[in-house]
Chains A and B, each alone.
Chain A
Amino acid sequence: MSDRELRVSKIRNGTVIDHVSGGQALNVLSILGIDGSAGLGVSVVMNVPSDRLGLKDVVKVEDRELSQSEVDVISLIAPEATINIIREFDVVEKNRVDRPETVIGLLSCPNRNCITNANEPVETKFDVVDEGVRCAYCGTIIREELATHIDPE
């Protein structure tokens, strides 16, 4: 995208998450627990043309550098995402997301009879497996539509 088409201005410091699968930007923010309430500047561009993805989303978070472990969980819904750390308008670090081994506290288990849904003092934990993710407590496998299981808390 050239500067003439730029829909959101460059950020001075922070993180740009690029090459997010089209339509998944809000789920990415949800995974990162970013809802605007902390006062961070957040820009979201959705469904812009991309050579690699057809349509892509871009998320820019100002004044926060996201760590690799924070962003790896994004790979579950946006495996092609790239993470750019920006300082003084320059990209100082560019990373791909890796599939994490486990996802803790982020997803809720769709099995209503799972102990993690029983009001116990325990965080959900999912192991990442070839087919999707699997509840470490009850064994339930989530294969599709992972984003719908993101726990808003």
Chain B
Amino acid sequence: MRQDHLITATQLSRADIEAVLDRAAEIDADPGAVADRYREAVLALCFFEPSTRTKMSFETAIKRLGGATTDMGTVESSSVKKGESLADTVRVVEGYADALVLRHPSEGAAKMAAEFVDVPVINAGDGAGQHPSQTLLDLYTIRENVGLDDLSIGIMGDLKYGRTVHSLAEALTNFDVRQHFISPESLKLPRGVRFDLHNSGAQLREHTDLAEVLPELDVLYVTRIQRERFPDETEYEQIAGEYQIDDDTLELADDDLAVMHPLPRVDEIDPAVDALSQATYFKQAHNGVPVRMALLDFLLSEGEL
């Protein structure tokens, strides 16, 4: 299927995903082979919200392909501060670059941006919507560790506002995966995501207690529960505390469990877990570079994915 942009995970077929992951594996094995492939290419970074991993890994990815970046900088230092619309900003920036990576606080921002420009747009997070390039690196990490079929995954934390969760859950419907969603009642999956999952025939179950499913999981994907989602500090501390894991929690888990997290973590994974063989989150973050190199390779070479 031809894709000019990467906006949501629902647009990705199994074949699309496998093509990117296979290309990422080739690049990972021999990064030198593509070092000069995009010497003239410029990637625009438009981040209307803070980012460390996504922005830096896209930057590293285009540099390792021989290209360069042009960076809008922070909202405070740009024309956005003067009241410029997103539609205008992206139409200006497309004249400076061959592709555009966009993170924005409003849901649907990347979809709208893609309607205004001809260069490929990559959604690097739109509010509580989607974050599909994170999903590709998550899938790459899962495939590396346990494979992508006949798999049980637990996705835990803020499922309502977590954009990495929404994209991952939708992409996983392309594979033979049993999805367990573990969250407090108030942070369950939103109706729109549930609608897509049901339409795709997803095998999903919802839980409020991790212990119910932990022993059968191959992957545990942990996300941060944000303080600002709760009106009351005491309620936040009580609820967030129930969704933190440490080495004691993992005694119930399989030795081959892969514990993943899109990062940054605050206190939902105790640092004691870092030393366990199950801790996969730093490797997951490193995978951002080869996977984003592969994604850029598709979008820049053929103008499509």
Q: Taking CB as reference atom, which chain A residue is nearest B113?
A: A115
User: A135: which B residues are within 8 A, CB to CB?
Assistant: 108
Which of B52-60, B190-198, B277-285 contacts the other chain?
Answer: B190-198
A113 touches B191 (CB 8 A): no
Task: Indicate which residue in A113, A114, A118, A129 contacts B86 across the interface (CB closer than 8 Å).
Answer: A118
Closest CB in chain B relative to A128 CB, distance in Å: 13
User: B109: which A residues are within 8 A, CB to CB?
Assistant: 115, 118
Task: Indicate which residue in A120, A122, A138 contacts B107 across the interface (CB closer than 8 Å).
Answer: A138
Q: Mark A70-102, 1 if CB is under 8 A from B, else 0.
A: 000000000000000000000000000000000
Closest CB in chain B relative to A141 CB, distance in Å: 5
| Cα of A131 to Cα of B195 in the assembled complex, Å | 9
B192 touches A136 (CB 8 A): no
B107 touches A114 (CB 8 A): yes
Interface residue tally of chain A, by bracket? 20 to 34
How many residues does chain B have at the interface if contact means C-beta atoms less than 8 Å apart? 22
Q: Taking CB as reference atom, which chain B residue is nearest A135?
A: B108
In the complex, whether A68 has a CB less than 8 A from a CB of chain B is: no
A interface majority secondary structure:
loop
In the complex, whether B127 has a CB less than 8 A from a CB of chain A is: yes
| Cα of A139 to Cα of B107 in the assembled complex, Å | 9
A113 touches B195 (CB 8 A): no
User: B111: which A residues are within 8 A, CB to CB?
Assistant: 115, 136-137
A121 touches B85 (CB 8 A): yes
B87 touches A139 (CB 8 A): no
A111 touches B87 (CB 8 A): no
| Cα of A138 to Cα of B111 in the assembled complex, Å | 9
Using CB atoms and an 8 Å cutoff, list the residues of chain B in contact with chain A: 85-87, 104-109, 111-112, 115, 126-129, 190-193, 195-196
